[in-house]
Amino acid sequence: MAGAKPKQFFMKHEQMDFEVQAIMGTCYYGGADVGEILAAVERIKSGDFESWYQVWLETAERVQGFAEECAKAGNDVSAREAYLRAAMYFSSSITMIDGTDDPSRGVPTWQRHLACWDEFCARCAPPAEKIEVPYEDTPMPGYFFAPDDSGGPFATIIFNNGSDGPLAGMWSEGIAGALRRGYAAFTFDGPGQNGMLWLHNVGFRYDWEKVITPITDMLVARKDVDADRIALSGVSQGGYWVLRALAFEHRIKAGIVDPGVMDVASAVMGNFPKSMIKVLETGDKEKFDRDMKMGMKVAGHEARQNVEWRMKPYMTDSFYDWVTESQKYNARDVIGQIECPMFVADPEDEQFWPGQAQEVYDALKSPKTIVKFKAEEGANWHCEPKGRSLYDQRMFDWLTTVL
């Protein structure tokens, strides 16, 4: 089942237009500025991936220049705000880097995003604390934000990113709203996300409890964290990872999914013709990969860009392995083990996992709440890109009733 096609406001190219809407949504918490966004949109050629990269890169470099000037002059508030916007623009520039002639620019550009994010974090009040969470052979990079310098202990929310969101995006997708309400916040790069992927070549895993449990171990050991009031929030594909983790990690007292994602692979499988599904079911890897390569040539440059971007965190160049691995990301067999209260966001016109928020809600056996976000409220589409204030109001108001 496919979701409704998003209404396009800025560009004819559907993916670019949705990305612009998502960037626009960060304005509420200072992640971007409307004028800077619109000025960039005017210069981007719709459907031209190189144009997308260059315009957002130039915007990021200009705003980074503002930040550096402010920092040099000792104007830390202005510097902090500009560094956050620069981080968002650098990350935006590489969302379609695989469609350009030189995808190798992606990692260096992402590193510039990270440098600006770190500068922003260092100027928060109080400054965010950089933490390395023990994880197998490669520690996970994380950031702990306290709402004040009282030392707590604070109710704390772990903010779990999705499949391809930048660290800077988590400021607008939970951290800022949490700090305003007196919560501490922790965000991180897990396997397949940002630094773990780009710098350490560590890919996704379906058994996300192996990621959240060491994070919970770290948090409960901190004196400034109230170990009895820890929540876990996941956006986009994080809507699956949170379900999987909470089925096994019961020290966490509340779960939030935006949206609810029961079956990650359905977002991919829904785009395949029946003939390809049949080949997949027979287990004929060679034929499936061959047919996919032929299909990609017919589909063209745009399809190649999108698929290569999505495959990267799965650490494979085989279409068959990508799809079969993603089929493991399914919470149906474990969702009944979740014990804590759950908040399930259900945005109208969900494009990637339509109908799954309701399926998640129906399958949960723990206390649960499902909240609809509608087009008439300006809060439809995947992760409510234009309705972050409304989302935060409803989610955090619910959280006060369970923590």
Active-site amino acid positions:
236
- Measuring CA to CA, how many Å separate 300 from each of 48, 291, 295? 13, 14, 9
H helices present in 73-173, as ranges? 76-93, 106-122, 169-170
Residues 263, 269, 270, CA angle at the centre, nearest 5°?
Answer: 95
- What span, in angstroms and rounded, lies between the C-alpha atoms of 118 and 120? 5
Bin 151: left if φ > 0, else alpha if -120 < ψ < 50, else beta: left
Question: Is residue 233 within 8 Å of residue 157, measured between CB atoms?
Answer: yes
Question: Is residue 90 within 8 Å of residue 107, measured between CB atoms?
Answer: no
- What span, in angstroms and rounded, lies between the C-alpha atoms of 157 and 159? 6
Residue 160, strand partner residues: 234
For residue 1, how many C-alpha atoms fall within 13 Å in the half-sphere facing its CB?
A: 8
